[in-house]
Structure 1
Amino acid sequence: MVTEERLDELLTRLRLTAIRDQLDSLLDEAARAQMTLREALLFLAEREVTRRDARRIQMGMKLARFPYVRTLEGFDFEAQPSVDPGQIRDLASGRWVGHAQALLLLGPPGVGKTHLAVALGREAVERGYSVLFLTAAALMGQLMKAYTDGHLEEKLMQLSKPKLLIIDELGYLPLEPAAAHLFFQLVARRYERSSILITSNRPVGEWGQVFGDAVAATAILDRLLHHSQVITIRGDSYRLRDKRRSGLLQKPADSTVATPEGR
């Protein structure tokens, strides 16, 4: 009994809680498999790492504040032929996050931009990167409040910590007059240090209108596009597709969004 208590104490101090909590069943399994001492030690270590990874991912998903669960497996690539599955699989590796690059997902409403943003964010969490998801409206609201309250520096520091910051729905709602300058400070703070993923229904050529300041928009894009990938999704809205099939709505004549070069 003393030995068991001492072992439990040492496993707790070493934070080997997976081994501690399942010790009897793990030792029984190792015995049934007739593992050598070295094999049993490897087996125990693997179980500990597996639980830690699961807890890390669970906590990372919670801190990311994703609005819902979306996966790459659930994305309908056949319905959006303008999206290259190979490029998305490469992005899922997380290398672009490790290299502090930006990713812009552009396209009309309903084509899957947010789905891809959440799915790629979840992939980044699983690969050990910290992620934070915010709508553009929520982000600008936080920045404006921090600026008004005199805490802008603290807020910028907080928003600079996640390795990947996802900003969803830029351009859908009008921004405050000071928004462009606050957004620029955030982009400049993260430039070449950590990644930003932005979804927008507006091509980058219209971001001067989005921010109401062409000069600030140019400065923002200068940093975002320096090390970046831009994916423009041309396609029909998932949400309206069934309505159009039933004849309730007609497909718009042109549902494309221009590329950064204006094509």
Structure 2
Amino acid sequence: MTTHQQLTHQRGLTEPAAEAAIDQARRMLRLPTVRNQFLATADAAEREQLTYRGFLAELLMAECEDRQRRRSERRIKAAGFPRQKALRDFDFEANPNVPPAVVNALATCEWVRRGEPLCLIGDSGTGKSHLLISLGTEAAMAGFRVKYVLAARLVNELVEAADELVLNKTIARYGRVDLLCIDELGYLELDKRGADLLFQVLTDREETSSVAIASNESFGGWTRTFTDPRLCAAIVDRLTFNATIIETGTQSYRLSRTQAQQAAATS
């Protein structure tokens, strides 16, 4: 008799035999949470006098919730964020330039669902990367495929892919993610080839999949990054059409916090 037959034909099991059968079924069906939480859930169900249906619902809901958590963790890991950042840790009082209502609306991820861009513009220390990473994390937790990359690293990867004749494959790989987060755009000047390749990635995603960028330069200063004026205008057009634009300002709240802490220590 097969394992399946044994499981489906057994009747009147003792408690140890029932637990062994459940463990076998859990392995066959790949339900690790059922195995880990069965005894505790069964004991709680007995104390609370749950019906059989109520007990089964509790156990299966725990499995579903744990599976969703593991999927979210895999998507966050696949995104390649350099560090963990959460929206709840963003200090809106320290930077009043950032509107909480707009950020909370972005956290619903409707803009990702619609394939709209997000531009975070401001000086270093004003929270651009924090917002970029935390909003990207929210999207990953909501079920979207997300990829985080530094602008310079993305351009270098595209140049290498072009040299190795696999550019289309690389662009297609970035095109498969629902949200592409590009950080530190504007820190380095890009030559025309690099800018052209980045433009291809942005064009491939236009009005279909979201791009979120963080830049220390206002749009007017992007000509120092993209030295071809026409190409610069085209890239700005791609990134701002139907976009949410948040200007995080020029005052570094990290610097202000450090100065305040030093002043408090010496007073």
Instruction: Give the aligned partner of residue 236 of structure 1.
Output: 251
- Superposition map of 1:95-134 within 5 A: 95-134=110-149
For residues 45 and 249 of structure 2, what CA distance do their matches in structure 1 show? Answer: 55
For residues 96 and 61 of structure 1, what CA distance do their matches in structure 2 show? Answer: 18
**TM-score under structure 1 normalisation?**
0.87
Q: Tell me, which stretches of 5 or more residues in structure 1 are unaligned?
A: 249-263
For residues 205 and 39 of structure 1, what CA distance do their matches in structure 2 show? Answer: 61
1:246 offset after TM fit, Å?
8.9
1:43 aligns with 2:58: yes
**1:137 paired residue among 152, 164, 176:** 152
Deviates most, 98-107 or 63-72: 63-72
Amino acid at match of 2:112: V
1:62 offset after TM fit, Å?
1.0
Q: Secondary structure at the match of 1:233?
A: strand
**TM-score under structure 2 normalisation?**
0.86
Q: Which has the larger radius of gyration?
A: 2
For residues 20 and 242 of structure 2, what CA distance do their matches in structure 1 show? Answer: 55
Identity of aligned residues (%): 37
For residues 23 and 239 of structure 1, what CA distance do their matches in structure 2 show? Answer: 47
1:26 offset after TM fit, Å?
2.2
Instruction: Give the aligned partner of residue 33 of structure 1.
Output: 48
Instruction: Give the aligned partner of residue 182 of structure 2.
Output: 167
For residues 183 and 163 of structure 1, what CA distance do their matches in structure 2 show? Answer: 17
For residues 188 and 66 of structure 1, what CA distance do their matches in structure 2 show? Answer: 24
1:151 offset after TM fit, Å?
0.8
* Structure 2 CA distance for partners of 1:169 and 1:32, relative to 1, 3 Å: same
2:95–2:253 Cα contact (<8 Å) kept: no
For residues 247 and 39 of structure 2, what CA distance do their matches in structure 1 show? Answer: 54
**1:54 paired residue among 64, 69, 72:** 69
TM-align CA RMSD: 2.1
1:170–1:198 Cα contact (<8 Å) kept: yes
Q: Tell me, which stretches of 5 or more residues in structure 2 are unaligned?
A: 1-15
If each structure's helix is expressed as a fraction of its own residues, which one has the higher value? 2
1:199 aligns with 2:219: no
